[in-house]
Each structure stands twice: as structure tokens, then as C-alpha cells.
Amino acid sequence: MAIQRLFIANRGEIAVRVVKAAKALGIHTIQAHSEADTEMLAVKLADEAICVGPAQSKDSYLNIPAILKAAKATKADAIHPGYGFLSESPAFARAVEEAGLIFVGPSADTIERMGDKVAARQAAEAAGVPVVPGSDGRIDVSEALSVAEKIGYPVMIKAAAGGGGRGIRIAKDEAELKTLAPQAKAEAEAAFGDGGLYIERAILSPRHIEVQILGDGETAVHCYERECSLQRRRQKVWEEAGAMCLDDETRESLCASAVALAKAVNYRGAGTLEYLYDEAANEFYFIEMNTRIQVEHPVTEMVTGVDLVAEMIKVCGGAALSMTQDEIKKTGHAIEVRLCAEDPFLNFMPWPGVVSTLKEPTGDGVRFDHFLSEGYQIPPFYDSLLGKVIVYAETREAAIDKLVEALESMEIGGTKTTAPLHLALASDPEVRKGAFHTQWLEPWLEAGNLSATKGDAA
């Protein structure tokens, strides 16, 4: 049964995106909001809106009983979780299913399975998707050398019982491993009371590549790849489609591997498989799957013409995928930059101001996904993402030029934004060449590249 009344359990720019997509499909939209979000753009655009709790996310956007109660009160037949918040909570998806509503995403079981690192890795291996070569579960010091020999140096040594990066060491050869493995064991014993180790190939300075997939529970397709290697504190700041570092053969096998895994888990909705790409070795390794729409989905929409949000709403309402793999063509190049309410010259200090003026970037091949309006007080209670500037052109070089034009023509008064960071990146020769990786941006910032540019006047 197709969805008729969609409840949007999210906020910010993605809520606007979902409301617009649903309305274009003729669906009645019901926007959830906290007490701090009554003036939010999605509330104004939706057919109706309902308060789900106080400002703090834990009492509103993360409050499962409050959201279900509001969805029932407004007679919703489906809930779109957006990204973040409850979008990857198996407990929430299960509660929605049990309440007899449609969860716009995969089943709770799939979310649970792909959200568990070990289970996801096993599912990937079973589907023939390459994973970072590593030891088969826990090993002891005596096994470390033979395992490392098999998977290849450099290797990363971790405590099998640990997490959060504790006790991680990198050995670049056998001699180093002989010294480091006993240290890692001693530290693991001290920290966790368990000296078991885990070893995997260390991928130094990898690029972050991901593949967009769509599934209807029966079959799945891919919409090609994105590259999101420019990251700060593990947050993506600049994303592209496609990944210029891949040759056609590698791209094809990467995308095929993502479809194989999506099919193996009978995936429904939009999802993304994230990979590390070792450029020197031309090898990619699956790291995790995100079972939801992603912030950077627009770049894929720009190069393929597929409306990912509309498609996920349709397939979760029970429709078959509206396209076959052959019908999905990729042309040109797209770039998205994230505009956050932060001061890039002051260590990215949050800056929740009142939007005094708003001049949107416009033009052919320019898209601005956001939730701003003049006079809007940016709430301090949520993350700092204000919107995304997305540009599309025939070539990557032309797309970067268009990005500069778009950012220079845009005006957001009354608040600081990260636009100066993006202008500085767009004029950097390495970025222009595409010569970067996930460990590139932070040293670039530490070296003072941002304050040395013309954006300094901002």
C-alpha cells in the first residue's frame, strides 16, 4: 500500500528535503518538531506539524514513545527518520513496525545486522565484498607474526576486547611487530583484563569512497560512487560524485560489490556502503554500511538524475524499484560542501546567530538544500549544519569554478558559516588536482592554510 500520510521525525535541512519530495508525490506531510523548532522551515512547508517534546533531542527527536504517540495522533501511516537521530536505531524501526506503521528504511533486523561491525563484516565477506584483511578473530602474540605475514605489512595491532582506539599500534615490518605485539598484549591485559589481540592491515592515508544503493527488498541497484575524503574530526566537509581517483574497471567492481551485499540482505530503501580506498595498491575495502539517506545524497542525484528521497519513499510504500541498473547513467561531476554555523577562523566555534540577510546561490547546475529564512534564530540545541551548496558541471574543474561562483554570490548575514573554508579549499592546488585523502585536511588546517587566504577578511 502506497504511503499516504508521512510523518517526518527529523529536523533541519533533511526535513525540508523529505517534506518537498513527499508533497511532490502527492503525500500528506506531518512534520515533527521540538519546542525549540516551532519556527523551522519544514514546519512551515509541511501540511501539518506536531510538537514531540522539549528542546533537548533526548526528550524530542530521540524520544521513541513521544514520536510514536504523535504519529498515531496525526494518523500517519509511515515515518521517515531522515539521517542521524533515530534513523539507524533498530529499536525505533521495530517500534514503528510493531505499531503497524511503515518505517521508511530497511527492516529493523537489517539495521541491527548492518549496525553491528562484526555481523556487517561477515555479511560483506559472505557476499564477496572485500574487507580489510585481518586476523580471524582474536589471536595471541605467538600467532601475530604468521598472521601479519599472510595479510601483509603495515599492520595495525588492537586489543581484541578494546574499543575506541585504545592500545592501537602500527607495525611497518616484522621487527617492529616483534617489539609492539607484547606491549599491546600487556596494555590490553592491564586495561581490559584480556590480552587477546586483533591484527589487520593498516591502510595508511586512505581515501573515503562510498557507493549509493537503492533496494526494494527483492532487488537492488547502485547509483555509482561518491568520494568524501575531505574530513575534519571524522566529519565530512566536502563531497564529490564521482570519485576521480578510480579507473572504470575498479569503479565497476566496487559498485558491483555494493549491489551484491545489498541484494544479499534484501535491502529496502536507500543505503550507502562505505569503503576505504588504498590508492597506491588500487584496492578497496568495505568498512560499514549506513542504512539511511545520507547528508551528501544530492551529489549522486546531480550526476544520475535519480531522486533518491522520492525513490526510498516509493519502495518503502511497497513499490518495485522504478528503474533498472541499465537505466542509471552517470554524467558530469558534482560537488557538495557543508555550510555549518561555525567560525572557521576561531577553531570552528559554534555560532548560532539570527539570519539577518539571506541571498541564496543560484544558477544553472547550482542547488542549495537548507532550512534558513531571514529573521530565523538558528537554535543552539542541535548540530551546526545549516545547509549544503551543491554544484554540477561537465568536468570536475568546471564544477570547482562553479562552486567558487556560487559561494561568492551567496550571502548569509547575522551568523558565521564555514563558507570561507570551502573557498580556501577550492583555490588550493592539491584540492584542484584531487590529490587528497582522509588524513589530509586536518594537517592542512594546522599548517595555517585557512588564515593565509583571502577568506581572512570575512
Partner 1 sequence: MSDIQSPLPGTFYHKPSPEEPPFKAPGDAVAVGDQIGLIEVMKTFIAVTADIAGTFKSYNVDDATPVTAGAVLAELD
| Residue 235 lies near partner 1 (rule: CB under 8 A) | no
- Under the criterion CB under 8 A, does residue 36 sit at the interface with partner 1? yes
Q: Does 349 bind partner 1 (CB under 8 A)?
A: yes
Among 76, 341, 393, 399, binds partner 1 (CB under 8 A): 341
Size of the site for partner 1 (CB under 8 A): 14
414 binds partner 1 (CB under 8 A): no
Stretch that binds partner 1, among 267-275, 308-316, 379-387, 409-417 (CB under 8 A): 379-387
According to CB under 8 A, which one of 130, 350, 365, 434 is a site residue for partner 1? 350
DSSP summary character for residue 59: G
Q: Which is nearer to partner 1, 383 or 456 (CB)?
A: 383
C-alpha to C-alpha distance for 93 and 73, rounded to whole angstroms: 18
Note whether 384 binds partner 1 by CB under 8 A. yes
Question: Is residue 292 annotated as a catalytic residue, yes or no?
Answer: yes
Question: d(Cα 423, Cα 447) in Å, to the nearest integer?
Answer: 17
165, 371, 446 from 25: Cα distances, Å: 45, 21, 47
Q: Which is nearer to partner 1, 196 or 350 (CB)?
A: 350
**Residue 145 burial by CB count (10 A; 0-12/13-18/19+): exposed, middle or buried?**
middle
Q: How far is the CB of 416 from partner 1 (least distance, A)?
A: 12
* Beta-carbon contacts of residue 4 (< 8 Å; ≥ 6 apart): 27, 28, 77
Question: How remote is the C-alpha of 296 from its chain's centroid?
Answer: 6
Q: Is 295 in the site for partner 1 (CB under 8 A)?
A: no
Is residue 50 a contact partner of residue 73, using CB atoms and an 8 Å limit? yes
Which of 292, 338, 367, 396 is labelled catalytic? 292
The C-alpha cell 526510498 sits at: 312
Beta carbons within 10 angstroms of residue 407's beta carbon: 21
CB 443 → partner 1: shortest distance, Å?
22
| Options 37-45, 66-74, 316-324, 378-386: segment touching partner 1 (CB under 8 A) | 378-386
For partner 1, which is the closer residue by CB, 378 or 399?
Answer: 378
Count of CB atoms situated within 10 Å of the CB of 152: 11
What residues between 55 and 74 interact with partner 1 by CB under 8 A? 55-56
